[in-house]
Amino acid sequence: MSEVAHSTVAFEGRFARELPELAIPWRAEEAPDPQLLVLNQPLAVELGFDPDFLRSPEGVRLLIGNAVPEEATPVAQGYSGHQFGFYSPRLGDGRALLLGEVVGADGTLRDVHLKGSGRTPFARNGDGLAAVGPMLREYIVSESMHALNIPTTRSLAVVATGRQVQRETLLPGAVLTRVASSHLRVGSFQYARASNDMDLLRRLADHAIERHHPSSAGESNPYLALLKGVISVQAKLLAQWMLVGFVHGVMNTDNMTVSGETIDYGPCAFMEGFDPVAVYSSIDEMGRYAYRNQPVIAEWNLARFAESIAVLIHEDEEQAVALAVAALNGFRKEYSATWFNGMKAKLGLLEEIDAVASPLVDELLQLVQETRADYTSFFRSLSKAARGEVEPARRQILDLAAFDSWLERWREVGPDADAMDRVNPMYIPRNHLVEEALAAATEGDTGPTEQLLVAISDPFSERPGVEKYAEPAPESFGPYRTFCGT
């Protein structure tokens, strides 16, 4: 038995207690020499942890599950999933553990979860471990998404284990401590439905309603309301991804939460040159999860969610299907409205009627695509154009005559430059800088990671000393590919 961690934060075991069929009690592997690489101090305080305790040897052992409070019930969660369209009935946490839930300073319940903590009964052929690089990637990108005001799981810490991990080469091992409003996924419902245990499916749905969609409980058909709630939060989430050029890379059904938070930052990247078919994942050979496909895939995943809970929506199968299809039809409408309003905000046209804004949006995206202009820096430069300094934007476009015509019509409607700066980021985790930071951290130097985190933690405020974090990758960087790290 591991030593008890003296933390003032109480761990609950609500998921383990309420849904034991989806939870296998398990313990993290002992790390031979755990060393804290990065700690998210603001998040620690938000959760009620003392950052000084978490930096202590005992706190570090808590962060990787080697020292857990007596009341905690660490479990590996079970779930199914469609991976690249192919159904796997039993996936689950092969290298992860839910330590338990904690009530934060704001009174909300959140999961504390480990990634890379060793093999579990769901591990199949995997080693259950993770390397420093991929765990720091998740930390960097998830914290960037949080700073961009996009719903996301958070990263509390990355701890080096002192154990080597065999990938293409031997790499230093690490554990990520992740925080989420929950880890309930579409795949969780697929797993429960496949068991044919209607009591389990209903309890899982009730658990999801209580944690994420409480207003559904008061509806005449709470499970249909749950479906609509999940559709709504995912439609908004996908629109927000698209507006910042984020490519998730592995949108399997086990990587889609019912809370509407982004989860599992594996082969993810922010698009640089605007390219609707951009793919960064080394394993997505057919482009299933390309940038432009993400909303369509989200809708497909939600249809799998609807199939899983259809039996709860109505006892008559035909009526259940009709109700679910009607709900799913709302996805495109909500996605389109969120995306278009977001694009109007990016162009400073919040007060403009759609008839004026729509052609301006469409024409500009066509010009940006033709040039493959850098998505982030181009939109940021438009606020300068709104203030009269047009060259930074103009030099990124090839068809200058068309762009000058567009600029004239756009500036006539009086775009709000200050409002644009509040939604168009200056700093994102540029792929070449992420790779530099991960390579340095793998060699023991976390300085570049810390500097990158400082830049992206305040993405909308231009400031001196961090200019390189706003620059696109040099030509020599070449085509970018990312790997999931398993």
pLDDT at 8 over 60: yes
Chain segment 289-319, per-residue pLDDT in tens: 999 999 999 999 999 999 999 999 999 999 9
pLDDT at 483 over 80: no
Amino acid at site 101: E
Note the pLDDT of residue 280: 87
Between vectors from CA 364 to CA 361 and to CA 286, what angle results, nearest 5°? Answer: 95
pTM (2 decimals)?
0.95
Q: Distance (Å, rounded) from C-alpha 357 to C-alpha 344?
A: 7
* Predicted confidence (pLDDT) per residue in 450-481, tens digit: 999 999 999 999 999 999 999 998 877 767 66
Task: Give the separation between CA 452 and CA 444, rounded to whole angstroms.
Answer: 16
Percent of the chain with pLDDT over 90: 90
Q: Tokens representing 66?
A: 């080697």
Q: Does residue 2 register a pLDDT over 50?
A: no
Q: Does the pLDDT value for residue 1 go beyond 60?
A: no
CB 99 within 8 A of CB 157: no
Cβ neighbors of 369 (< 8 A, separation 6 or more) are: 274, 275, 276
Q: Which residues, 6+ apart, have CB-to-CB distance to 379 below 8 Å? A: 346, 420, 424
Backbone angles phi, psi at 88, to 5 degrees: -120, 115
Q: Output the pLDDT for position 329.
A: 98
Is the pLDDT reported for residue 281 higher than 90? no
Confidence of residue 124 (pLDDT cuts 50, 70, 90): confident
- Token pair for residue 351? 């007060």
Q: Is residue 244 scored above 50 in pLDDT?
A: yes
Band of residue 485 on the pLDDT scale cut at 50, 70, 90: low
Instruction: Give the residue numbers marked as catalytic.
Output: 254
What are the φ and ψ backbone dihedral angles of 424, each rounded to 5 degrees?
A: -100, 105
Tokens 């093999």 locate to 119
pLDDT value at position 354? 87
> Which pLDDT band, with edges at 50, 70 and 90, does 333 fall under?
very high
Residues 18-30: what's their mean pLDDT? 97
Higher-pLDDT residue of 360 and 1 is 360
Identify each DSSP E strand in 93-223 by its residue range: 96-103, 109-115, 154-166, 170-180
Q: How far apart are CA 437 and CA 449, in angstroms?
A: 5
pLDDT value at residue 3: 44
What amino acid occupies position 78? G
The CB-based long-range contact list for 400-408 (8 Å cut-off, 24+ gap) reads 402/363, 402/367, 403/367, 406/360, 406/363, 406/364, 406/367
Joined together, the tokens standing for residue 207 give 């658990």
The alpha helices in 76-169, defined as continuous H runs, are: 132-147
From residue 145, alpha-carbon distances to 141, 234, 290, 297, 471 in Å are 6, 15, 19, 20, 19
Please, what is the average pLDDT of the chain?
A: 95
| Token representation of residue 127 | 């080693």
Q: What are phi and psi of 82, to 5 degrees?
A: -90, 115
3-state DSSP assignment of residue 122: coil
pLDDT tens readout for residues 175-194 = 999 999 999 999 999 999 99
- pLDDT the model gives residue 4: 47
**Torsion sign over Cα 119, 124, 127, 128:** negative
